[in-house]
């Protein structure tokens, strides 16, 4: 209990304080308090680390404000002024703390003013410390355009390395790419285990599949491709297309798929003769460092410049990320992550390829192969506990096949909530105010979520299906759910189904992915023509199909959403997007 905030307190009074504050604990990833919650008390942190976040009024943008550790206060503003919480606090690690309620604090003031004043003085010291830190952060913000020495050093090294690498012939580049892929693939199981241990998200075996996808399917899509010099000559127009690298690429790596995304971005960057600097999500730094070291070992074996692939090795912040994004010698940003980081990339003033949120509607038509559709949904939405952005999020099922479709899902391990269960489940599973899945449940198994929310089943479920109606579209059940939770809407006929799919995408996920299960090619083509999505899958699982696993789409882990979703491309991004293609227009009367 010798927390820093009480360091100057009289020992006798400290003994009394120990008995007044209530010990509490929070597991990693759990929400300690939410923005807008009643200001009913404060915590003194004894052990662990707390991440404080704020969101835009829309709820779409999440901003990391600060981290709090042992000896620091959480929520003291509300204890003192009684106003609602101004930020959200997440247990970044397992946290041990002590709780002082506003009610107890006010009663203590009446019954024991000496102790009450001592606590108030301690809290005031903590508040003063926090204000000083906020002033320092504001200074950093105001000086955000000042040079960042680490960013300058890394970018300069990347520029030099890229100049040495740009003239490598295709065969030598392909040999390097194969070595990188083979090196990471050989450690896939270990990296996947570390990934899950670090982030608490997903399934290690499924992450192995994603790593192998990057090291296999992505690699195969690059080998033998021409990515330097003259790409083609168009005889009729006398135009010669010539490839030129963009130079240095800054890549943002998400918490959901760090290893596979690092490998993917490294492969496509090097294939196009670019250098890559990447920055991982705060929870994926350890596994990001491991992956980078494996890539650099392959670079060394091929006598490639070590600085072709670099990464930020410690926890970063918005100022440092902005320094890379705005650096004059960074040619392009590849932004894969949450809405706030993608928006920051677009606002940097640099060319950026970003992605939008996924929220795929899945239309199970009256003529669908219902058993195959249920199998695809189960295979996809349970994969890596539902964190792939193109996985199914909203089932739109024709009334004529609803009953048999539900039976097929249940036969494969899904569970359908009753109205009474739904009433209890929703406030526990979701942060309804923003509508999003509870932080503690992102990337967790359906069995874990069921246990924590009090769902009782004889067999632990693999997927939780929630009946939903039109009124639910603007809430959590019409939004992206990065967990094995699916909403189920019932429709009658094609017109109602297509209109509902459009409405869901317009709420969230526009431009990303949509899925249809039908035997009718004409209907599939109509769906493709009318739905505002860049990837429209037919009779395929979303998580696998959208990235090009089992479909004819380009293998990729960066999926554009087009101007539908505020992106520059609808493509599955690959090396061709990282090239400047020059066009030499030859005039008449040219001689050799």
pLDDT value for 60: 42
Q: Which of 100, 365, 389, 561 is catalytic?
A: 389
pLDDT digits (tens, 9 = 90+) for 393-426: 999 999 999 999 999 999 999 999 999 999 999 9
Locate 219 and state its tokens: 């690699």
Residue 380 and residue 393: Cα distance in Å, rounded? 10
Q: Does residue 22 have a pLDDT over 90?
A: no
Residue 408 and residue 326: Cα distance in Å, rounded? 51
Q: Which domains does the chain have, with CATH numbers?
A: 4-142 (2.60.120.10), 149-355+577-581 (3.40.605.10), 360-562 (3.40.309.10)
Instruction: List residues bridging with 244 in a β-sheet.
Output: 580
Span between the terminal Cα atoms of the chain, in Å: 84
pLDDT value for 57: 43
pLDDT value for 582: 95
488 and 466 in contact (C-beta within 8 Å)?
Answer: yes
pLDDT value for 318: 80
Among all chains, which residue has been given the structure tokens 């006598």? 303
Query: What letter does residue 483 receive in the DSSP assignment?
Result: S
Among all chains, which residue has been given the structure tokens 């939008």? 356
pLDDT value for 7: 61
- Residue 152 belongs to what H/E stretch? helix 149-165
Average pLDDT over residues 77-96: 84
Which are the contacts of 249, defined by CB distance < 8 A and separation ≥ 6? 265, 269, 274, 275, 276, 277, 330, 331, 332, 333, 334, 578
pLDDT value for 575: 97
Band (pLDDT 50/70/90 cuts) for residue 570 is very high
Closest by CA to 179, choosing from 97, 289, 295, 284, is 295
- Is 238 in a helix, a strand, or coil? coil
Q: DSSP E strands: which ranges in 400-501?
A: 414-416, 430-431, 436-437, 463-467, 485-491
Closest by CA to 61, choosing from 318, 259, 262, is 318
Does the annotation mark 389 as catalytic?
A: yes
pLDDT value for 591: 57
Closest by CA to 385, choosing from 145, 201, 124, 556, is 201
| Alpha-carbon torsion, ordered 454, 459, 464, 465, to 10 deg | -110
pLDDT value for 128: 66
Query: What DSSP letter does each residue of 524-554 carry, written as one string?
Result: HHHHHHHS-EEEEEESS-HHHHTTTSSSSSP
Locate 396 and state its tokens: 């739109």
What pTM was computed for the model? Answer: 0.84
Average pLDDT over residues 227-255: 93
Average pLDDT over residues 528-553: 96
Give how far Cα 451 sits from Cα of 303, 439, 461, Å.
Answer: 53, 16, 10
Which are the contacts of 418, defined by CB distance < 8 A and separation ≥ 6? none
- Is 470 in a helix, a strand, or coil? helix
Average pLDDT over residues 486-496: 97
Residue 414 and residue 488: Cα distance in Å, rounded? 12
Q: Report the helix count and the strand count for the chain, using DSSP H and E.
A: 20, 25
Band (pLDDT 50/70/90 cuts) for residue 3 is very low
Provide the b/e sequence for 343-367 (b: ≥16 CB within 10 Å). Answer: bbbbebebebbbbbbbbbbbbbbbe
Chain mean pLDDT for the chain: 89
Closest by CA to 333, choosing from 355, 306, 304, is 355
pLDDT over 70 percentage in the chain = 90
Residue 49 and residue 582: Cα distance in Å, rounded? 51
Q: 3-state DSSP: the chain helix, strand, coil percent, rounded to 5?
A: 45, 20, 35
Locate 326 and state its tokens: 């705005």
Burial class of residue 454, CB neighbours in 10 A (0-12, 13-18, 19+): exposed
pLDDT value for 378: 98
Residue 323 and residue 151: Cα distance in Å, rounded? 6
Q: Does residue 307 have a pLDDT over 80?
A: yes
pLDDT value for 127: 66
Query: What DSSP letter does each residue of 282-324 carry, written as one string?
Result: GGGHHHHHHHHHHHHHHHHHTT--GGGEEE--S---HHHHHHH
328 and 348 in contact (C-beta within 8 Å)?
Answer: no
Give how far Cα 426 sits from Cα of 87, 139, 417, Å.
Answer: 22, 41, 11
Which are the contacts of 227, defined by CB distance < 8 A and separation ≥ 6? 170, 173, 243, 271, 272, 273, 575, 576, 579
Which are the contacts of 403, defined by CB distance < 8 A and separation ≥ 6? none
pLDDT value for 77: 77
Band (pLDDT 50/70/90 cuts) for residue 505 is very high
How many other CB atoms are found less than 10 A from the CB of residue 461? 20
């Amino acid at each position: 209990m010798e927390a820093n905030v009480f360091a100057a307190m009289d020992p006798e009074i400290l003994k009394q304080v120990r008995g007044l504050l209530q010990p509490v604990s929070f597991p990693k990833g759990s929400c300690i308090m939410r923005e807008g919650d009643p200001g009913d008390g404060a915590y003194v942190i004894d052990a662990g680390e707390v991440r404080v976040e704020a969101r835009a009024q829309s709820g779409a943008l999440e901003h990391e404000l600060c981290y709090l550790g042992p000896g620091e206060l959480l929520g003291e503003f509300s204890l003192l002024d009684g106003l609602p919480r101004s930020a959200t606090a997440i247990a970044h690690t397992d946290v041990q703390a002590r709780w002082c309620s506003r009610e107890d604090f006010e009663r203590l003031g009446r019954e024991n003013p000496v102790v009450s004043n001592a606590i108030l003085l301690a809290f005031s010291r903590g508040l003063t410390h926090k204000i000083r830190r906020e002033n320092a952060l504001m200074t950093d913000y105001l000086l955000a355009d000042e040079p960042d020495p680490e960013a300058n050093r890394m970018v300069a090294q990347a520029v030099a390395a890229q100049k040495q690498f740009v003239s490598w012939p295709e065969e030598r580049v392909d040999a390097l790419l194969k070595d990188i892929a083979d090196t990471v693939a050989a450690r896939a199981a270990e990296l996947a285990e570390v990934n899950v241990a670090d982030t608490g998200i997903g399934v290690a075996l499924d992450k192995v599949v994603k790593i192998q996808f990057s090291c296999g399917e992505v690699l195969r899509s690059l080998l033998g491709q021409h990515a330097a010099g003259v790409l083609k000559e168009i005889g009729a127009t006398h135009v010669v297309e010539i490839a030129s690298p963009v130079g240095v690429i800054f890549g943002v790596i998400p918490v959901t798929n760090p290893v596979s995304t690092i490998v993917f971005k490294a492969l496509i960057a090097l294939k196009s003769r670019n250098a890559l600097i990447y920055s991982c999500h705060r929870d994926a730094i350890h596994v990001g460092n491991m992956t980078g070291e494996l890539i650099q070992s392959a670079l060394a074996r091929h006598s490639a410049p070590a600085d072709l692939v670099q990464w930020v090795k410690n926890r970063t912040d918005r100022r440092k990320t902005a320094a890379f994004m705005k650096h004059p010698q960074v040619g392009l940003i590849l932004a894969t992550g949450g809405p706030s980081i993608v928006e920051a990339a677009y606002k940097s003033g640099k060319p950026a390829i970003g992605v939008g949120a996924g929220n795929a509607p899945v239309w199970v038509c009256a003529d669908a192969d219902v058993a195959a559709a249920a199998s695809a949904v189960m295979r996809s939405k349970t994969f890596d506990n539902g964190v792939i952005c193109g996985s199914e999020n909203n089932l739109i099922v024709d009334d004529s096949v609803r009953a048999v479709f539900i039976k097929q899902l249940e036969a494969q391990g899904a569970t359908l909530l009753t109205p009474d269960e739904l009433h209890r489940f929703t406030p526990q599973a979701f942060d309804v105010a923003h509508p999003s899945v509870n932080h503690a449940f992102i990337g967790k198994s359906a069995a874990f979520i069921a246990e924590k929310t009090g769902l009782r089943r004889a067999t632990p479920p693999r997927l939780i299906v929630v009946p939903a109606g039109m009124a639910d579209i603007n809430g959590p059940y019409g939004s992206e759910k990065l967990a094995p939770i699916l909403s189920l809407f019932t429709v009658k006929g094609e017109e109602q189904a297509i209109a509902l799919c459009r409405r869901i995408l317009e709420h969230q996920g526009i431009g990303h992915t949509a899925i249809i299960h039908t035997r009718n090619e004409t209907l599939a083509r109509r769906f493709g023509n009318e739905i505002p999505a860049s990837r429209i899958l037919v009779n395929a699982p979303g998580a696998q199909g959208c990235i090009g696993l089992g479909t004819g789409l380009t293998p990729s882990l960066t999926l554009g959403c087009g101007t539908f979703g505020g992106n520059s491309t609808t493509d599955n991004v690959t090396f061709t997007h990282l090239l400047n293609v020059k066009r030499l227009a030859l005039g008449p009367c040219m001689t050799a």
